[in-house]
Every structure is written in structure tokens, then in C-alpha cells.
């Protein structure tokens, strides 16, 4: 190794040690700070996939806006779906602070290079699904995102604080839909139970593979990108959901679910990991439709982006003049 290269790798090692010291001290890393290239790449991966999930996640609920059972429910659902677009915006903006463009991020979604949460590849078949999505999907997202409020990258952590406030409203509106159906007639109660039966297991999959199979967890925990492991967060979600289900008379579709006095947690059955890996590989019920729909909406919005650019150029020209 030449002396110049040796000096460079020594400098790099010192910078990396200082970086880890700041992380260990709970300091936030900000966009202009030095960071290892692998930290930057890992964050772009996670934040952009998080953003894609928010935006693709608008589709299953968007499907029911025109069929909401009352004007009140329609207004609430519309506001909720708009919030998801906002979450996508905060997250894309946070990813952009790491030196990647919005076009590159969207392109990765369209080509399949970037994933989004597996749950959104399941269809929304009934009005009760709006309840199950709000209660379980947003509920699982909150458990994960509360933990991410303490993530080491400043813009991501701050985005999470705001997102969590909105998610609490989302979860309550979902629970309220299910509660109302459970107070209704036999058909309505069946509809609510059927939605929970279909969304329970995919919600548990939202937390990712078991810790022992989680490729990124080790490094992400050292860098405090992740603060709690996939299995820890999944357990927390199961524990909170059991009582909420019981309170309104719903049953969770898992015969192995029971309180474990020794552990102080609920035991639960094994997730169908073949299904999980098949869905994240692109073979879920809705993968192709979700991405095709996003592509179409993106293409149809091209004129808006062009108009914004033209306006910005005009303003810049006026400033120069």
C-alpha cells in the first residue's frame, strides 16, 4: 500500500471511530456530517422503502373512499389517505438529504430494485378491511415507528415524531370502524372478523424476518438506525393487540396464542415464512397492480413536474435579471 493510501485509510478509520463514538453518545447524525458510505446506503435503503410503503399503502384504502358507508367515514378515510401521502413526502425528503434524487428513488420502486411493506400486496375486499388496516397495519407501523423516533439519523428521527402523532389517529379510526361493526348485526360482525382473519398474519410479517434471519439488523443496531429488533417489536405488537381484540369481541386467528406467565408475554404461532418471502419477491396478490398503478399515476403527473420546473426557471431568470 502506498503511503498516501495508508494515510487515507488511517484518516478513514479515525473518522469512523469518531462517528461511532457520537452514535454511542446518542448524538444525532445530520446531513452534512461525515458518515461511512455503508451507513448512508443503508439509510437510503430503509428510508426510501419506508417512503414507498406509505405511498403504495394509499392504494388499498383509496379503493374504498368512494364506497365509504357515510359522508363522515368518507371524510375521515380521505384525510387518512392524504396523511399517508404526506408521510411519503417527509420520508422522501429525508432520503434526499443523503444525496439521492427523487427520480432515482421512484425509479428504484418502479424497477423493483426497492421494496415496500409486504402488507400492501394484499387486497382490500370489504369495508371492514378499512378497520383492520387502521387498527392492525397502522398499529404495527406505530410500534415500529415509535422506536424509530430515536434512530440515529436526525432528519429520519424528526420525521418519525410527526408521523407517529398522525398514526395514532389512524389507528383509532380503524379500531372505531371495527368496534362499530362489532356492535352491529351478525353479518357486520362476521365481516369484521373476516377482515381481522385476513390481516392478522400479514401484519405480523410487517416486522420483517426473525432476528436470526435478518440480514441488516446487526449493523443497523450498532449504528442505532434500528433501536429494537424485529422480534422484540413484533412481540410488543402481539401483546398490545390481544387485549384490544378481546375488548370488542374479536378473535385473533392463531390457535397457539396464549399468555406465558414465565415470559410475561403472549406466545404465538409461527408465521408462514414461505408466504412472506414469496410476497416480497413480487408474487403477492397485488404486487404487479400496485406498481403498475403507481407508474400510471407518476406518468400522468409528468405535466405537473414540468410546470413546476418551468415556473422555477422563470423565477430564477427573473432573480438574475
Residue of 29, 57, 95, 96 that binds ligand BYC (CB under 6 A): 57
Stretch 156-215 residues interacting with ligand BYC (CB under 6 A): 205-209, 214-215
The pattern of x and - marking residues 96 through 115 that bind ligand BYC according to CB under 6 A reads -------------------x
CB closer to ligand BYC, 199 vs 266: 199
C-alpha cell of 59? 392504494
Mapping DSSP onto H, E and C, the string for 84-143 reads HHHHHHHHHHHHHCCCCCHHHHHHHHHHCCCCCCHHHHCCCCCCHHHHHHHHHHHHHHHH
CB closer to ligand BYC, 34 vs 273: 273
Q: Which is nearest to 202 in space by CA: 251, 126, 274, 271? A: 271
Under the binding rule (CB under 6 A), the answer on residue 83 touching ligand BYC is: no
Q: Is the dihedral of CA 304, 309, 313, 316 positive or negative?
A: positive
Shortest distance in whole angstroms from residue 150 CB to ligand BYC: 13
Burial label for 25, CB within 10 Å (0-12, 13-18, 19+), is: exposed
Residue of 19, 46, 182, 198 that binds ligand BYC (CB under 6 A): 46
Beta bridge partners of 153: 29
Burial label for 257, CB within 10 Å (0-12, 13-18, 19+), is: middle
The pattern of x and - marking residues 279 through 318 that bind ligand BYC according to CB under 6 A reads -x--------------------------------------
CB closer to ligand BYC, 193 vs 217: 217
Residues of this chain that bind ligand BYC (CB under 6 A): 45-46, 49-50, 53-54, 57, 84, 115, 117-118, 133, 137-138, 141, 144, 205-209, 214-217, 220, 226, 230, 280
Amino acid at each position: 500500500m502506498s503511503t498516501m493510501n495508508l494515510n487515507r485509510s488511517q484518516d478513514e478509520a479515525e473518522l469512523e471511530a469518531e462517528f461511532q463514538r457520537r452514535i454511542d453518545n446518542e448524538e444525532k447524525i445530520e446531513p452534512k456530517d461525515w458518515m461511512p458510505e455503508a451507513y448512508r446506503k443503508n439509510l437510503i435503503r430503509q428510508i426510501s422503502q419506508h417512503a414507498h410503503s406509505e405511498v403504495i399503502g394509499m392504494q388499498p384504502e383509496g379503493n374504498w373512499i368512494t364506497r365509504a358507508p357515510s359522508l363522515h367515514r368518507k371524510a375521515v378515510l380521505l384525510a387518512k389517505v392524504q396523511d399517508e401521502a404526506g408521510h411519503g413526502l417527509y420520508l422522501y425528503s429525508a432520503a434526499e438529504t443523503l444525496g439521492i434524487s427523487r427520480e432515482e428513488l421512484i425509479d428504484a420502486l418502479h424497477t423493483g430494485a426497492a421494496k415496500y411493506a409486504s402488507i400492501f400486496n394484499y387486497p382490500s375486499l370489504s369495508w371492514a378491511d378499512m378497520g383492520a388496516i387502521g387498527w392492525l397495519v397502522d398499529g404495527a407501523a406505530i410500534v415500529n415507528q415509535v422506536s424509530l423516533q430515536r434512530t440515529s439519523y436526525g432528519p429520519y428521527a424528526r420525521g418519525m415524531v410527526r408521523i407517529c402523532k398522525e398514526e395514532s389517529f389512524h389507528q383509532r379510526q380503524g379500531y372505531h370502524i371495527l368496534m362499530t361493526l362489532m356492535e352491529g348485526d351478525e353479518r357486520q360482525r362476521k365481516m369484521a372478523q373476516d377482515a381481522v382473519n385476513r390481516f392478522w398474519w400479514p401484519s405480523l410479517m410487517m416486522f420483517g424476518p426473525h432476528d436470526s434471519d435478518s440480514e441488516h439488523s446487526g449493523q443497523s443496531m450498532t449504528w442505532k438506525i434500528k433501536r429494537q429488533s424485529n422480534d422484540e417489536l413484533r412481540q410488543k405488537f402481539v401483546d398490545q393487540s390481544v387485549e384490544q381484540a378481546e375488548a370488542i369481541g374479536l378473535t385473533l386467528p392463531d390457535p397457539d396464542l396464549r399468555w406465558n406467565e414465565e415470559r410475561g408475554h403472549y406466545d404465538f404461532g409461527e408465521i408462514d415464512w414461505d408466504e412472506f418471502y414469496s410476497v416480497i419477491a413480487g408474487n403477492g396478490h397485488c404486487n404487479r397492480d400496485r406498481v403498475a398503478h403507481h407508474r400510471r399515476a407518476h406518468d400522468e403527473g409528468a405535466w405537473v413536474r414540468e410546470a413546476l420546473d418551468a415556473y422555477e426557471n422563470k423565477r430564477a431568470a427573473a432573480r438574475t435579471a
